[in-house]
Amino acid sequence: MSTFLSYALPGIPFGCTYAIVAMGLVLTYRTTGVFNFGFGAQAFVSAYLYTVLTENGVPVGLACVLSVLVLAPVLGGVLDRFLFRRIAPTNTTAKVVSAVAVSVALPELVNLVFGSATRFAPPTLFLDPGRVYLHVGATPVNGLELETVLVSAGVVVVLSALLGASRLGLTIRAAVESPRLLELEGIRADRVLLAAWMGSSVMAGLAGVLLAPQYPTLQSNDYAVLLVAALAAAALGNLADIPLALVGGIVLGVVEGLAAGYFSPTSVWHTGLLPAIPFLLLALLLVGRRKMRALEENEDPLAGCDPPPPPSITLTRSHELDRVIKVGGRILAVAAVLSVLTWVPGDWGFALTAGLVYSIIFLSITLITGLGGEVSLCQATFAGVGAFAAAQLAVHQGLPILLGAVVGAVVAAGVGAIGALPALRLRGLPLALLTLALALLADNAVFPYSWAGGPPVGLVVPRPVIGSLNLATTSTKGFFVLVLVVLVLCAAGVKLVQRSTVGLYLEALRASPVGAESLGINPSVAKVLVFALSAGLAGLGGALYASLQQTVTPADFNYELSLVFVVVVVTTGVRTIEGAIQAGIGFTVLQQLLSYLPGRWGSGGIAIVLFAFGALTYAAHPEGVVEYEKRVWTERAERLLRRDQPPHDGLVIATSTVGALEHPGADDG
Amino acid sequence: MTALELESITAAYGPYRAIDDISLAVGRGEVVALVGPNGAGKSTVARVCAGLVRPVSGRLRVGGRDLTGAAPWRIARARLASVPEGRGVFARLSVLENLELSFGRWLGPKAVREALEETFARFPILAERRHQRAGTLSGGQQRILSLAKVLADQPDVVVADELSLGLSPAAVDDLYQQLGALHDRGIALLVIEQRVDRVLKLADRAVVLDRGSVRFDGPPSQATQPLEAVLGGGSSARPAADPPSSPGA
Amino acid sequence: MADDRVVLAVRSLSVNFGGVVALDHVDLELRRGEIVGLVGPNGAGKSTLVNCVGGQLEPSSGSVLLEGIELGDAPPFQRARLGIGRTFQRVALFPELSVEAHLLAALRARHRAGQWSQLLARARPSTAEGAEIVDVLNQLGLADLAQAPVASLPLGPCRMLELGRALIGRPRVLLADEPSSGLDRWEASKLTGTLQLAASRGIGVLLVEHDLGLVATACDRVVVLDVGRVIAQGRFEEVMADPAVRRAYLGEAVA
């Protein structure tokens, strides 16, 4: 029994760190309707300021006030004003993607502004970290641990009081569901939401400052890891119950403490299971709990007040312009290909080839998010499955890499299909969280094994040999042509699926699942199919990526990459094939251009920041930046072409068409 | 002075124009019926009054104050209560919470309790389901809840969009009794309805709307003929809706 | 017209929503080519009954039989393939798709099992499918709008399209949940014609409706629900004369 306690008790303060983040997540979700993947990043920003201030001799109290009560709410207010307020309350995809964008952009932004010099742990808030204040049984409790437990207890009391009984809680819940409907009651919904963002951001700041002293150095990654671990604790409270999130955090900490204690450090359980516990728990909760499924069942009662989304500009632009653009586009593409094969320098050739490979991976997002309507946060994991399968087969079985890539794609498709099975009843946010859990499971419990992700130093992956043509020896040009051919085939395949009957079913399911099912469309088959196809494409792209790099390590396809992928593609345009290709090429070209900049500005981080800023426009233009810009420029060109003719469709369209706007949105929940 | 006045209002959804140069006034304590075929722009008028759709041009006055382009909350505070079309309730709040949210805006805790008791006595179906999430109510029940929210308010003018939609005959009778009671309390009403016969009996004045413009504005007794004209008069001669400029067709 | 073959039978169906009884041992039969009106006060359980038949809701007890076959816990898409078509109180269309695409999706989903085989099949109607779609479009009076995206249509055509989507491919049973709600008088009369045409082709129609004029014209038989129970059924005039119905449904001021 005493052994049990000695393993379990240290888990409690550790669990409380999870709990503080989990309670913050629940608070943000309940008060703003956004599941804030950026919570860890916000905590990191406050912790950073706190650390810098205390390093420079600012007293702890003042530093704490500045970073928790000043910086954090200002940051929250900025996020609300410029990002989240522009998103319709029912647009789950936009909310998930924007929050993910915040989570990847904020730490990179801090690095850009302050540089990446190592910052050491700042002082604790009020208790001495080294001193043992009391003993529970035989287990000593130091100041750091006691502080964490005390603050957790305080937070749960304050939040429960604030949200539980009062009219404030009711108003906030109403504002989250439909700000406009609340305004009809004479209440300023924008103020309510601003206050909610500022309040929950204070919580993020507090978490950041409180947890910073626990790590020897200050790193954004620690906060990201904490965030994903806290997901499980938050899920235990159905993402809605703050005291349950506290319990969830503590349970998680204790289970980890027990597992660490009882499993021998050399056993497979210790290396494989232990780091995966939070994600396994998260996956089980998402799949098993009925309440989680209902999380996103929400529709805006006043959706009829919004203008309908404009049709794709490629469908409405004039015939002449359409022809000019198509011919011009082809000439440009041929010129680009010829340039790469002739005068373009090697590093640019490599970057463009990588861009094409990324485009193949990004097409998988066009399928799953654009056509299937679901956000997947494990596309890099699928790419990794393909890459590792191809690499292992090439290295150990001597299989030609191209054949290996095909096998890798099939394996990834299989993993995708199996991964879809537990997700059959999930949509929206819970599904996105489940894919994140799968990605983290793979990162922690599958890829680190040498039979899967290879040894830590990496696997050497060959370039393809086609007949007597060795693509490794002919620089990247031969490989460029190969990848181009594969990309064209993949794009054609995606187009075929988009235009097929299954594509029609998927569009129907995305628009109205209830309506689609009432016609005889099987939603389960559709979901498995789209996951398998998407994973297969990502796997193929991953294998080609490994072959391009000629080496692959277990950490090459981690979950953060999945987050970046989604942000990049959704920003550019998730509904069209052009969107994916422009995202792929834009992503690498931007990084290549930035490499000319000096110092820290030359790192890849700024590319991520730029795309994340692109996500700001995404909130206002969900069709994607490319599609939006296309519309703007097409309209300009058409005005120019028709300067002396009356506009062919100006403001007024037959009034009868407006009838559609006279009744609430035609989608049923 | 008028309770609600629209002066030359034009409103559009993106490129789609919905109402064109509409002028309409509701006097203090007056009941105005707004009728017309589907797609005429009736709901758009209601949304402009509530501040949910900003007019492209024209002026909106509530109680004599110019509130053109004002946010919905500002218009609500000018004592205009709006019952939007469709599901005007918070689906994720319970019936009780929906009512508490509305009542709490005007009343203190004790008065809220009294208002709740009164509401539950008036609408037993709501009392029965007070702890149910409003989203799980049937369409008709949600309309009843929307109405109940407004009844406890003390507005100067109520804009009600298709209140009787999905209500059983008995519930429609009850609804019109409630509207009559509001009228007796001196509250001005702009009632948008598909059930023309009922609303014309209640109204002091009728406005017939068709294709975004006012076709008739006068006493309800004389509204039947222009209304028949725009509704197609039961003959099968009503022209089919123009095909919209379908993209890429 | 109506013959004696029962296409849809509801046996002792009950539904509880967390303690509230929505349906209480309801029995109901629908014959081939028959239009049965389902009326009752708000909250009587009409939509709940329709949702149980359509598979959108799981009953607490009781059973639903389609041509004598027990449907059990079959999901909605299986019921659709077995021949149940339905419309929704709030239209459940796909705003970005064209009118024609709606009908094509319905036609293919109902008749071709196995979605894997359709991965590469073009979503464009074949000659036979095209003829069937044109036929339905003409019936509904939507022929001019075939290529229009649904987001640009007024409510009337939307309701008609939803009806056409449920009827294409000849289901055995049509569940229509307040199809005339929000329609003006002219549109409602067109709706009545479509329902009668469907019935004349042998489809059993269960019509939830508050517009008593429409019920009187269209329905062969009327079933009245109140607080989850059948309180009366029979011919329209008989049922409406029933004092219990007058009290529960029509209220005092019967016109």
pLDDT digits (tens, 9 = 90+) for C200-209: 999 999 999 9
d(CA C132, CA C150): 20
Task: Please say whether the beta carbons of A7 and A260 come within 8 A.
Answer: yes
List residues bridging with A141 in a β-sheet: A134
Judge whether A175 is closer than 8 Å to chain B, CB to CB: no
Answer with the residue of higher pLDDT: A161 or C76: C76
- Among the residue ranges A333-342, A488-497, B98-107, B224-233, the one predicted with the least confidence is B224-233
Q: Residue A51 has what pLDDT?
A: 93
SS3 label, residue C38 = strand
d(CA A313, CA B89): 36
Answer with the residue of higher pLDDT: C147 or A313: C147
List residues bridging with B160 in a β-sheet: B83, B191
d(CA A538, CA A248): 34
Cβ atoms within 10 Å of A78's Cβ, excluding its own:
12
Cα A9–Cα A12–Cα A13 angle in degrees, nearest 5: 115
Q: Residue B235 above 60 pLDDT?
A: no
d(CA A183, CA A633): 36
Q: Give A78-131 pLDDT, tens digit per residue.
A: 999 888 888 887 788 888 888 988 888 888 888 888 877 788 888 887 777 777
Least Cα distance to B74 among B61, B89, B87 occurs for B61
Mean pLDDT of chain B: 85
**Local structure of residue A122 (DSSP, 8 states):** P
Helix (H) or strand (E) holding A380: helix A379-392
Select from B90, B113, B116, B157 the residue whose CB has the most chain A CBs within 10 Å, as the one to mutate to test that interface.
Answer: B90
Q: Give A537-568 pLDDT, tens digit per residue.
A: 999 999 999 999 888 998 889 888 999 899 88
Within this chain, do residues A201 and A292 fall inside the same structural domain, yes or no?
yes
Q: Residue A660 has what pLDDT?
A: 44
**Amino acid identity for residue A511 in this structure:** A
Given A656, A658, A668, which is nearest C90 (Cβ)? A668
CA A285 distance to own-chain centroid? 20
Residue of chain C whose alpha carbon sits nearest to that of A523: C77
φ, ψ of residue A216 to 5 degrees: the values are -60, -40
Q: Which residues of chain C have pLDDT under 50?
A: 1-2, 253-255
Least Cα distance to A618 among A571, A654, A575 occurs for A571
Answer with the residue of higher pLDDT: A207 or A130: A207
List residues bridging with C11 in a β-sheet: C63
Q: Residue C203 has what pLDDT?
A: 95
Question: May I ask the CATH architecture of the domain B2-86+154-233?
Answer: 3-Layer(aba) Sandwich (3.40)
Q: How far is A323 from chain B (nearest CA, A)?
A: 14
Within this chain, do residues A402 and A530 fall inside the same structural domain, yes or no?
yes
Q: Is residue A621 assigned to a domain?
A: no
Angstrom CA distances, A155 to A162, A207, B168, B238, stand at: 11, 10, 50, 66
Cβ contact C152–A660 (<8 Å): yes
Looking at beta carbons, which residues of chain A come within 8 Å of B42?
662
Q: Is residue A449 assigned to a domain?
A: yes
SS3 label, residue C219 = coil
Q: Residue B188 above 80 pLDDT?
A: yes
Q: Residue B151 above 80 pLDDT?
A: no
Given C76, C105, C150, which is nearest A666 (Cβ)? C150
- The enclosing domain of A54 has a CATH number of 1.10.3470
Q: Residue B247 above 60 pLDDT?
A: no
Cα-Cα end-to-end distance for chain B: 51
Cβ contact B44–A661 (<8 Å): yes
Contacts of B6 (CB under 8 A, 6+ apart): B22, B23, B24, B25, B45, B48, B49, B58, B59, B60
Within this chain, do residues A639 and A540 fall inside the same structural domain, yes or no?
no
Q: pLDDT grade, residue A293 (50/70/90)?
A: low
Sign of CA dihedral A322, A324, A327, A332: negative
**Local structure of residue B90 (DSSP, 8 states):** -
Residue of chain B whose alpha carbon sits nearest to that of C91: B86
Q: Residue A144 above 50 pLDDT?
A: yes
CA A151 distance to own-chain centroid? 30
- Domain locations in chain B? 2-86+154-233
DSSP strand pairing (A551-552 vs A459-460): antiparallel
Judge whether C176 is closer than 8 Å to chain A, CB to CB: no
φ, ψ of residue B3 to 5 degrees: the values are -75, -35
- Most confident listed range (A342-351, A501-510, B237-246): A501-510
Task: Please say whether the beta carbons of C44 and C226 come within 8 A.
Answer: yes
Q: Residue B205 above 90 pLDDT?
A: yes
- Mean pLDDT value of segment A272-285: 83
Within this chain, do residues A19 and A132 fall inside the same structural domain, yes or no?
yes
List residues bridging with B13 in a β-sheet: B16
Residue of chain B whose alpha carbon sits nearest to that of C40: B168
Q: Residue C114 has what pLDDT?
A: 55
SS3 label, residue B159 = strand
Looking at beta carbons, which residues of chain C come within 8 Å of B37?
184, 186
Judge whether A655 is closer than 8 Å to chain C, CB to CB: no
Residue A330 in tokens: 């082809």
Looking at beta carbons, which residues of chain B come within 8 Å of A662?
18, 38-44
List residues bridging with B206 in a β-sheet: B33, B218
Q: Residue A88 has what pLDDT?
A: 80
Q: Residue A418 has what pLDDT?
A: 93
Predicted ipTM beyond 0.90: yes
Q: Residue A200 above 60 pLDDT?
A: yes
SS3 label, residue B168 = coil
Q: Given the structure tokens 């640019």, which residue do they identify?
A: A348
The alpha-carbon radius of gyration of chain A (Å, integer) is 26
Within this chain, do residues A269 and A364 fall inside the same structural domain, yes or no?
no
Within this chain, do residues A526 and A426 fall inside the same structural domain, yes or no?
yes
d(CA A340, CA A346): 9
Q: Is residue A513 assigned to a domain?
A: yes
Select from C47, C53, C77 the residue whose CB has the most chain A CBs within 10 Å, as the one to mutate to test that interface.
Answer: C77
Judge whether A662 is closer than 8 Å to chain C, CB to CB: yes
**Local structure of residue A272 (DSSP, 8 states):** I
Cβ contact B244–C182 (<8 Å): no
**Amino acid identity for residue C13 in this structure:** L
Task: Please say whether the beta carbons of B44 and A662 come within 8 A.
Answer: yes
Within this chain, do residues A506 and A654 fall inside the same structural domain, yes or no?
no
Mean pLDDT of chain A: 84
**Local structure of residue A575 (DSSP, 8 states):** S
Contacts of A275 (CB under 8 A, 6+ apart): A444, A445
Q: How many residues comprise chain C?
A: 255
Task: Please say whether the beta carbons of A242 and A19 come within 8 A.
Answer: no
d(CA A426, CA B82): 36
Q: Give A429-456 pLDDT, tens digit per residue.
A: 889 999 999 998 898 888 888 888 888 8
Least Cα distance to C40 among C160, C194, C177 occurs for C177
Q: How far is C213 from chain A (nearest CA, A)?
A: 23
Q: Is residue A309 assigned to a domain?
A: no
Cα-Cα end-to-end distance for chain A: 52
Judge whether C251 is closer than 8 Å to chain B, CB to CB: yes
SS3 label, residue B157 = strand
Cβ atoms within 10 Å of A399's Cβ, excluding its own:
17
Judge whether A186 is closer than 8 Å to chain B, CB to CB: yes
SS3 label, residue C80 = helix
> Which other chains touch chain B, taking contact as 3+ CB pairs less than 8 Å apart?
A, C
Cβ contact C97–A507 (<8 Å): yes
Q: Is residue A184 assigned to a domain?
A: yes
> Which other chains touch chain A, taking contact as 3+ CB pairs less than 8 Å apart?
B, C
List residues bridging with B22 in a β-sheet: B9
> Which other chains touch chain C, taking contact as 3+ CB pairs less than 8 Å apart?
A, B
Select from A183, A194, A321, A635 the residue whose CB has the most chain B CBs within 10 Å, as the one to mutate to test that interface.
Answer: A183
Select from A519, A531, A537, A627 the residue whose CB has the most chain C CBs within 10 Å, as the one to mutate to test that interface.
Answer: A519
Task: Please say whether the beta carbons of A60 and A239 come within 8 A.
Answer: no
Cβ contact C210–B169 (<8 Å): yes
Q: Residue B242 has what pLDDT?
A: 38
Cβ contact C90–B139 (<8 Å): yes
Residue of chain B whose alpha carbon sits nearest to that of A191: B73
Sign of CA dihedral A79, A81, A85, A86: negative
Q: Is residue A318 assigned to a domain?
A: no
Residue of chain C whose alpha carbon sits nearest to that of B177: C253
Contacts of A436 (CB under 8 A, 6+ apart): A228, A231, A377, A378, A559, A562
Q: Contacts for A492-495 with beta carbons within 8 Å, 24 or more apart?
A: A494/A363, A494/A366, A494/A367, A494/A537, A494/A577, A495/A577
- Among the residue ranges A609-623, B234-248, C228-242, the one predicted with the least confidence is B234-248
**Amino acid identity for residue C80 in this structure:** A
Judge whether C99 is closer than 8 Å to chain A, CB to CB: no
- Most confident listed range (A154-158, A471-475, A615-619, C192-196): C192-196
pTM recorded for the entire structure: 0.88
Note the maximum CA span of chain A.
90
Q: How many residues comprise chain A?
A: 669
Cα B62–Cα B68–Cα B73 angle in degrees, nearest 5: 70
d(CA A519, CA C87): 10
DSSP strand pairing (A139-142 vs A469-470): unpaired
DSSP strand pairing (B65-66 vs C20-31): unpaired
Cβ contact B128–C253 (<8 Å): no
Within this chain, do residues A636 and A531 fall inside the same structural domain, yes or no?
no
Q: Residue B243 has what pLDDT?
A: 35
Judge whether C189 is closer than 8 Å to chain B, CB to CB: yes
Q: Where are the beta strands (DSSP E) in C18-166?
A: 20-31, 35-39, 61-66, 69-70, 84-86
Angle formed by the axes of helices A577-594 and A559-572, to 10°?
A: 110
Domain around A212 = 2-296
Q: Is residue A235 assigned to a domain?
A: yes
- The Cβ-side half-sphere exposure at A611, using a 13 Å CA radius, reads 31
Q: Residue A145 above 90 pLDDT?
A: no
Q: Residue A656 has what pLDDT?
A: 38
Question: How many domains are there within chain A?
Answer: 3
Q: Residue A654 above 50 pLDDT?
A: no
Q: Give B17-66 pLDDT, tens digit per residue.
A: 788 999 999 999 999 999 988 878 888 999 999 999 999 999 999 999 99
Q: Given the structure tokens 């080294």, which residue do they identify?
A: A130
**Amino acid identity for residue C202 in this structure:** G
SS3 string, B97-132, reads: HHHHHHHCCCCCHHHHHHHHHHHHHHCHHHHHCCCC
